[in-house]
Amino acid sequence: RSVAAWPTRRRNPRQPRPAQSIQADRILAAAGDELRMAIESLGSTSTAMARTVVTSIAASILAAFAAIYCCRRLWHQRCKECCQKLRLASDAVGLIGSTPLIELKFLSRITGCRVLAKAEFMNPGGSSKDRVAAAIVAEAEASGELRPGGTIVEATAGSTGVSLALVARARGYHCLLITPDDTSQEKQKLIRALGASLEVVKPAGISDPQHPVNVARARAKNLGAGSIFCNQYDNLANMRAHERGMAEEIWEQTAGEVDAFVMGAGTGGTIAGVSRVLKRRKPAVRTFLVDPPGSALYHRVKHGVLYCEQQQERTARRNRHRRSASHSLKQGEYLHARLLRRGLACRSYASCSAGRVTADSELRFPRPFTPFAFRYDTIMEGVGCDRLTANFEAALIDEAFRVEDAESVAMAHRLLAEEGLFVGGSSAMNCVGVLRAARTLGPDKTIVTVLCDGGSRYVSSIFATDR
C-alpha cells in the first residue's frame, strides 16, 4: 500500500501531502518496477544470474524500507518542531490567537447543519478582544506613537479593558480605562486586579463631552506625546487584527468548507475582518449580523438607516421624578426586578433608568408604572451600537437578526446544560443567531460563530441566581 495512505488517516485529506511522503512513494514505485522486471527475467536466466537478481531485489527492498524509515523520522521531527513552536511564547501576548473550533452538537442536531464555534474565551485575557488590544498596541509601537513609559487610554465596556490591561502589563506600559457605570462588577474588579487605572463615568450620548469615548480622548490628549488613545471603534487596526488572525484561522480549520458566519457587533471589527476575508476567498459565504434590543445596527443592515425604535424621543423621555437618597432603594430594586422579568431592564440596577439611579440620588417611580419613562437598554454587554463606526462600515453583511435578551439568557443556560460551555451573553446571542441563520440557509450547511468570552464575568447578570 502507498505510504501516503498512512498519515492520511490522521490529517485532513484536503491538506497537501508532505514532500517526504511523495518521495517515499517514488522510491517504492521504483523498487516495485525493479522487482517485477526481476521476476519476469528469472525464468530465462542461469543460476548465477538468478542470485544476482535476488540480491538486487533484496537490496532494493532494504533501500525502500530505509527510505520509508528516514522519511517518517523527518516527518515526526518536523511535527515535533512545530509543536515546540506552538508551546514557546515570548510573553503573554504570544499566547493570543490560534483558538480551537468547537462543534456545538445540540445546535447541529436541532438545525441539521454543522455548527462550529470559535472558542475565543481561551485567549489569555479571556475574550476575542485580546487580538484587538495586541494589534492596536503593536501598530502604535511600530509607528512610534506609543513610546516606552507611555499610557494606553481607552473607553471600554469591560472586555477590551481587560485585554488592554493585560497587554500593557506584558509590554511595560501604563493603562487608563474609562468605563460606564453599568459595566459588570466582575469586569471592573478584574481590570483593577490587572493593575490598570479605572475611571467610572455615567453613560451619555456620543455628542456629550462626558461620553466615555470623549473622556478617554481628552485624557490621552492631556497625557501628551508617547501615550495613545486606542479608539477601538474607529481604529482599523481592530479590523486588521481579525483579518490576519481569526478569519485565516477559520478558513484553515474548516479547510474552506464554510457557508455562513454569524456574529453580533459592538465596534464592528470582528465581523468586518472575518467577513472580508471569507468573502474574498469564497464569495458564496453569507454573513449574518445578530443585534440586541436598543441597537441601531439591525435597521442599518435591513433598511440602510441607523435607527432604533427604543431610542426615539417620543418613548425615550427621561423621568423627572427624583428624590433624595433618604428614600428607600427597595422600591427601585423591586421595579428593576420587574423590568428584568419583562425583558426591559438594563445591565444593572444602578443604571436601570435614564436618570441613572445611584446611592446619592434615586428616581421616585410614579403610579401607574410606565416602562416608557425609561431609556431602553440591554443586559448584553459589548454588543450593539447606536452610531456607525469605521470598522462596522467596512463589514460585508448580507442579513441581520434582532435577538431579545430573554432568548440570549435562555441560550446561555442551554449551552451550559447541553455542552458544558460557560459563556457570556454575547456568545449566547450569537448562538441564537445561528438558529435564525440555519432557517434561512436550510440543512447541510457549515455555520461558524464566535464564543466571545466566558460566563465568569456575568455571574451577577446572565447567571444571577437571585432572580
CATH of the domain at 412: 3.40.50.1100
Number of domains in the chain: 2
Residue 89 amino acid letter: A
Check residue 316 and give its pLDDT: 44
Give the pLDDT score at 59. 75
Same domain, yes or no, for 248 and 305? yes
Give, in degrees to the nearest 5, the angle at Cα 197 between 195 and 200.
Answer: 135
Q: Give the integer Cα–Cα distance in Å for 262 and 275.
A: 10
- Please check whether residue 112 lies inside any domain of the structure: yes
Backbone φ/ψ region at 299: left (φ over 0), alpha (ψ -120 to 50), beta: alpha
Q: Are 137 and 130 in contact (CB under 8 A)?
A: no
151/181 same-domain check: yes
pLDDT of residue 228: 94
The answer as to whether 144 is a domain residue is yes
Q: Are residues 281 and 140 in the same domain?
A: no
Domain span at residue 166 reads: 129-232
Domain boundary, last residue among 214, 232, 250: 232
Residue 443: the pLDDT is 94
Sign of the torsion formed by the C-alpha atoms of 120, 121, 127 and 131: negative
Q: Are residues 388 and 458 in the same domain?
A: yes
Q: If 0-12 CB within 10 Å is exposed, 13-18 middle and 19+ buried, where does residue 66 land?
A: exposed
On whether residue 39 sits in a domain, the answer given is: no
| Domain finish residue from 232, 266, 285 | 232
Pair 194, 140 in one domain: yes
Q: Classify residue 52: in a domain, yes or no.
A: no
Q: Are strands 446-451 and 228-229 parallel, antiparallel or unpaired?
A: unpaired
E strand or H helix at 216: helix 212-223
405 within 8 A of 378, measured Cβ to Cβ = yes
- pLDDT given for residue 259 in this prediction: 96
Q: With contact defined as beta carbons under 8 Å apart, do 466 and 340 qualify? A: no
The reported pTM is: 0.69
**Which regions in the chain score pLDDT beneath 70?**
1-25, 27-28, 31-32, 34-51, 53, 72-73, 75-87, 310-377, 465-467
Does residue 425 form part of some domain?
yes
pLDDT in tens, 281-311: 999 999 999 999 888 899 899 988 877 776 6
The candidate with the shortest Cα–Cα distance to 246, out of 409, 450, 35, is 450
To 10 degrees, the CA torsion angle through 88, 91, 92, 95?
Answer: -30
- In a domain? residue 8: no
Quick one: pLDDT at residue 429? Answer: 95
User: Do the domain assignments include residue 32?
Assistant: no
Residue 143 CB burial class (10 angstroms; 0-12, 13-18, ≥19):
exposed
In terms of DSSP bridges, do strands 399-402 and 151-155 run parallel, antiparallel, or are they unpaired? unpaired
Residues 383 and 403 occupy one common structural domain: yes
Query: Is residue 116 located within the same domain as residue 134?
Result: no
The reported pLDDT for the residue numbered 203 is: 78
- C-alpha–C-alpha distance, residues 298 and 307, integer Å: 8
Residue 62 lies inside a defined structural domain of this protein: no
Give the 3-state secondary structure of residue 104: coil
DSSP state letter for 247: I
Q: Are residues 167 and 210 in the same domain?
A: yes
